[in-house]
Structure 1
Amino acid sequence: MSNNDEQELDDLQSSDSNTNLNGSLHKAASETFTKDDANTEETIKSVEQGAWRWVIVSSCFFQNLLVDGTLCSFGTLYVYIIDKFEATSLQASYILSLQLCLQALFSPLASAMIINYGVRAVMMVGAGLMALGTLASGFVSDINLLYLTMGALTGIGMSMLSQTAAVTISFYFDKRRGLANGIATTGSGFGFFIFPPLATYLLEAFGLSGACVILAGIMLHGIVFGALVIPNSNDPRSRARAKGQRRLLSIASLVQLTHTQTFLLTITDQSSMYVANMRQYEEFFAAAQDKKCCEKFLHILKEIAKASFDMKLVKDGAFMLYLTGTVMRQLVGYIPGMFIVSRALHFGIRNEETGFLMSTFGVTNIVGRLLLGFLADLPMVKRRRCYLYGIMAISAGVVTSYNFGPLFYHQMLYCGFFGLFYGCTISMKCTVLTDIIGSEKICTGFGMIMFAAGFTVFLGPASAGWIFDKTSSYDVVFAICGSVLIASGLVVMPALCVMAKQKSPGYQKAKDDSLTIDTH
């Protein structure tokens, strides 16, 4: 046998050996993946049916606590930022404006990220961005860099956390979704209560830099809580891995669920809207599967934008009144919280006591949300919820315009009343909007309102800072803020008359429900 023949024989034997080896490896890998898939399906089934769902509720609770606690404690940080950077009120207020603006405007992008990468990944990244922005804020020496760290990074992280915390519950609960949402969103109230005094203590003990480092460490726990969210069969990322089966996610439902964190009791059942909108987006998801990652991402954003605007609603008089009133309320709603601490220090109240002012606001805010959540479903109130919403907004404006006095208990009274009335308006905004446009268009209506509010929440705190720099008067700032709140309530109240004239679907449903209850 020649050398060439021997070489060919060796090559064939080597090829057969490699083929056998590859076949063995392929078989082993197939068995491994099959086993992993079975384990994954068992894990998903246990999560969907077991007690782990309530661990996921605790995760959403903590994320809401982080987001709203951070926003509520900005009034305390605001004073130290001005002192450390020798900034004007206008310059310092830009930070809160950026946080609020990005939290609203980044929501559609966060929705697209949830669809592409799943709830767990977006939640963990959001907590990481919040922690990174806050940590970096402790080491910057220029307020312009603070806009990037505490403003932009933290604001984007807030948007991702608030988005996932609102949406996650709907993936894991059906029968007890209202209870789960109620528990999760109480994290906002606890954030109002815990963070302001905690921030006050940290700032006094460690200064602005040390406080930012410790707060960033607390925010990092959001990554741990995010990791507890085990994907289930309803999670967008898990559906992508299903064997030839894909349950479709309604973007409009996702946009609507983004805002469920703003009230403690879920008044309406989103499951009917989920089913109703499912067919509307079936073709969209089918088309998205054939696209590349970047193209798919942009395609999702385009569809979210399309789902968030309806020209017919622009021609709806009642809806436009409600949109105008809501935008006005959002314009000034965060301004009192920004100035409460600095005004208290101006009155000579001790620094260690100022944190309890915002805690008082947080407690009465919870009471207001719960109280109106109950009252709004009473038969005698159902058809007049627009009036009740307007009265609460006007009441919040009146107490804001009135100077209760310079003493600590005077400021406690103001924070208590303002938290109560403002919390009532927040708890009713979803219900009133449903009365105006009906549940079928609630998703699109919310998208339009939040898009408009995204710009106004940027202008509000910045304008208040500019006014204070020009006047050096807290009374002027609070009087203007209160006047806008009163005007917002007055604008919304006539919507009830327009609804009755237009025979709005939500109004007719509330009327029929109340008549049905009365006959019994």
Structure 2
Amino acid sequence: MAVTKEEKFEEGRRASGAATPPEGGWGWMIVASCFLATICIRAVTRCVSMFFVEFQLHFEKDYSSTAWIHSLIDSTTMLCAPLGGFLGNHLSCRATVIMGGLLSSTGLVLSSFASSLEHLYISLGIVTGLGFALSYTPAIAMVGRYFNERKALAYGIALSGTGIGTFILAPAVQLLIEYYSWRGALLVLGGFVSNLCVCGALMRPLEPRGCERMLENNMGNLEKDGIAVNTKTLSRCHSFCLESREEFGFLMLPDFLILSVSLLFLAYGCSAPLVYLVPYSLSVGVGHQQAAFLMSIFGVSGIVGNITFGWITDRKCLKKYRMLSYMVAIGLEGLCCMFVPLLHSFSLLVPFSVFYGYFDGAYVALIPVVTSDVVGSTYLTSALGVVYFLHAIPYLISPPIGGCLVDSTGNYTATFFLSGASFMFSSAVLASALLVRRCRRSKSNSTAHLSPNHITAAASQQGII
């Protein structure tokens, strides 16, 4: 019987000698570290939208030009995600997260001295975004290394930091802007983001894998026997082992390719609504504090979505439906976007923030889970780097395109409608792939149950033979 590409890949993954996830212990400290990291990275990135109106008024620019700031920080974070994964694999997750913390904190501090939008493009968009990229991928991948059976719940708790951070930081940032101006607020955020260094310090790696463990054991045995160790030979063997891991073999898996196409549309849809929620709220007469409160509601709902979907999809009876849960969350997220132009008051925007935040938290928590289900935990760091890399271009172009639509139409209808359509198409791509697979599976099963005599008789009846 022929062995499929997925089966060959899985055999190689099992043979790589990955350390067994401890399912707890220090793993919960890794979850706590990732939780704080997502606050410092994703929640702070979301709160950059709180500065949108301030930047626009101070530099006297249009929507499209100002939107490039948020686009750059988001797209740089995702564009450089493979670099974070690479350094996390070959240097260490701990060192990579600490480097990212230092770089992103420096970028925010430099942004507080900006004298033009171009300055912010570089300091806030590129420097801070690069720092976030170095920290984000290794921090998330570490959770997958420490958990397997309770992976979805662990990711749900860890990634709920985005929602909790948004809930706390949105009104806090608004107060900082009011009391210290946008420059002072960026300076304070720069100090806050330096906590990524603390997160990195807590990320203790698991035991060495595969041939690395073998080399260490051999060195210990040789030292005990009093035999000199040829370090040059060992280093060559070590390099050979690193090169033979085939870290990116998952790129040829059909499941991963389909997931990648879906992620491109998902990334386009999820960026613009966050950027334009506050400006849209202000345009329909909602006050600044109420607009900030909408972001807080969005954050709290995201927490509930993170944890509930993580807990539910960890149940044994539901584990095989993780992809389906992910698809449903994306589709309902798009449906929420479609209704935004009909909401013209704070009381109507509150339910939107609740539902949009809930489904946002649900699919965000499931992205690393479904990715791990496809490629395995051994290659999760590299796979997440590619997954977040795919977000880069959509994140870059989505807010400016939304800004151009606002500038040309004078309203936000087209912007939110396009985002909603992207969400729903992303879900449709996965649904189509699942349907095609199910049809092929049922056809192969029905063929397998037919004996040669049955096939000959059926063919004779139809006049084939």
- C-alpha separation in 1, matches of 2:46 and 2:194: 19
* 3-state SS in 2 of match to 1:349: coil
Residues 392/230 of structure 1: CA separation in 2 closer, same or farther (3 Å cut): closer
Corresponding letter in the other structure for 1:470: S
Where structure 1 has 5 or more consecutive residues not aligned to the other structure, the ranges are 1-47, 247-284, 509-520
The verdict on how the C-alpha distance between 1:501 and 1:129 changes in structure 2, with shifts beyond 3 A counting, is same
Q: Does 1:426 align with 2:364?
A: yes
Query: What TM-score, normalized by structure 1, do the two folds share?
Result: 0.67
Contact 1:400 1:478 survives alignment (8 Å): yes
Task: Give the SS at the match of 1:348.
Answer: coil
The aligned counterpart of 2:288 is 351
**1:95 corresponding residue in structure 2:** 69
* 1:86 maps onto 2:60 in alignment: yes
Match of 2:186 in 1: 212
2:333 corresponding residue in structure 1: 396
Shift of 1:468: 1.7
1:462 is matched by which residue type in structure 2?
Answer: P
1:420-459 matches, within 5 Å, as 420-430=358-368, 439=376, 449-459=387-397
Residue of structure 2 equivalent to 1:25? none
**Aligned-pair RMSD on alpha carbons?**
3.9
Q: State the 1:357 CA deviation.
A: 0.7
How big is the shift at 1:390?
A: 3.6
Q: CA deviation at 1:460?
A: 1.6
**1:414 aligns to 2:352 (yes or no):** yes
Change (3 A) 1:388 1:205: same
Whether 2:260 is the aligned partner of 1:323: answer yes
Equivalent position amino acid for 1:71 in 2 = T
Name which of 384, 389, 399 aligns with 1:461: 399
The 1:235–1:56 alpha-carbon spacing in structure 2 relative to 1, beyond 3 Å, is farther
- How far did residue 415 of structure 1 move? 0.9
SS state at 1:73 partner: helix
Distance in 2 (CA, whole Å) between partners of 1:370 and 1:141 is 42
The reply on whether 1:111 has 2:85 as its aligned counterpart is yes
CA distance in 1, matches of 2:185, 2:195: 16
Distance 2:311 2:206 in 1: 33
Report the Cα offset of residue 108 of structure 1: 2.1
- SS of 1:496's equivalent? helix
Q: Look up the match of 1:490.
A: 428
**Counterparts in 2 of 1:184-263, with a 5 A limit?**
184-229=158-203, 233-234=207-208
Q: Kindly tell me: are residues 50 and 365 of structure 1, through their superposed partners in 2, closer, same or farther at Cα, counting changes over 3 Å?
A: closer
Q: Specify the code of the residue in structure 1 equivalent to 2:357.
A: G
After TM superposition, the structure 1 stretch with the greater mean CA deviation from structure 2, 375-384 or 183-192, is: 375-384
**Structure-1 separation of matches of 2:321 and 2:46:** 31
Report the Cα offset of residue 63 of structure 1: 1.3
Compared with structure 1, are the counterparts of its residues 333 and 503 closer, same or farther at alpha carbon in structure 2 (3 Å cutoff)? same
Does 2:120 match 1:149? no
Where structure 2 has 5 or more consecutive residues not aligned to the other structure, the ranges are 1-21, 221-233, 446-465
Gap change, CA 1:447 and 1:52, over 3 Å in 2: closer
Q: Kindly tell me: are residues 56 and 424 of structure 1, through their superposed partners in 2, closer, same or farther at Cα, counting changes over 3 Å?
A: closer
Structure with larger RCO (C-alpha < 8 A, sep 6+): 2
* TM-score for both structures, normalised by structure 2: 0.75
SS in 1 for 2:195: helix
Change in 2 beyond 3 A, CA 1:141/1:405: same
Which of 327, 352, 368 is matched with 2:305 structurally?
A: 368
Q: 1:480 matched to which residue of 2?
A: 418
- In structure 1, which of residues 328, 333, 344 is the aligned counterpart of residue 270 of structure 2? 333
**Deviation of 1:223 (Å):** 2.4
| Matching residue within 245, 251, 268 for 1:309 | 251
Q: Are 2:408 and 1:470 aligned?
A: yes
Structure 1 position 55, deviation (Å)? 4.8
- Residues 346 and 415 (structure 1), Cα distance of their counterparts in 2 relative to 1, 3 Å cut: same
Q: For 1:301 and 1:438, how far apart are their aligned partners in 2?
A: 17
Larger Rg: 1
Q: How many percent of aligned residue pairs carry the same amino acid? A: 25
Distance 1:126 1:288, change over 3 A: farther
Q: The residue matched to 2:194 in structure 1 has which SS?
A: helix
Once the two structures are TM-superposed, the CA of residue 491 in structure 1 deviates from its matched residue by: 2.9
Within 5 Å, give how 1:103-142 maps onto structure 2.
103-142=77-116
Residue matched to 1:261: none
Q: How far is 1:414 from its partner? A: 1.0
- Tell me, what secondary structure is at the counterpart of 1:421? helix
CA distance in 1, matches of 2:132, 2:244: 19
Distance 1:225 1:239, change over 3 A: farther
Q: Secondary structure at the match of 2:391?
A: helix
